[in-house]
């Protein structure tokens, strides 16, 4: 993905925030599962439209997409996600 690499070259590492809706009562289980994924740097139970938010960092945009698609979105108890890719930092 040359376009992504060019766009995000100014960042230290590719980052994304993934907002998740989860099954009711599964907050502890989902947070525990997220924290077992090495690329998930932070994860929180939140109040509002979404139930959980996670900050994910990787060494490339391709890896970021792979982690979100295959490691995060496929976790049990996650019903839906919204991913926002960070374009600028600090």
Name the pTM for this structure: 0.84
The pLDDT, as a whole number, for residue 3 is: 44
Handedness of CA 24, 29, 33, 34 (dihedral sign): positive
Extract the tokens encoding 76.
């049990």
Cβ pair 18, 75 in contact under 8 A: no
CA dihedral defined by 37, 42, 43, 46, rounded to 10 degrees? -170
pLDDT in tens, 36-88: 999 999 999 999 999 999 999 999 999 999 999 999 999 999 999 999 999 87
pLDDT in tens, 7-42: 545 557 899 999 999 999 999 999 999 999 999 999
DSSP character string of 4-32? HHHHTTTSSS-EEEEEEEE-TT-HHHHHH
The pLDDT, as a whole number, for residue 33 is: 97
Domain boundaries 2-85, CATH class: alpha beta
């Amino acid at each position: 993905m040359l376009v992504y690499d060019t766009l995000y070259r100014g960042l230290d590492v590719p980052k994304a925030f993934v907002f998740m809706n989860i099954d009711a009562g599964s907050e502890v289980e989902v947070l525990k599962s997220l924290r077992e994924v090495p690329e998930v740097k932070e994860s929180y139970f939140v109040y509002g439209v979404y139930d959980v938010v996670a900050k994910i960092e990787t060494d490339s945009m391709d890896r970021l997409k792979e982690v979100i698609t295959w490691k995060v979105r496929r976790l049990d108890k996650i019903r839906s996600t919204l991913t926002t890719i960070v374009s600028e930092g600090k």
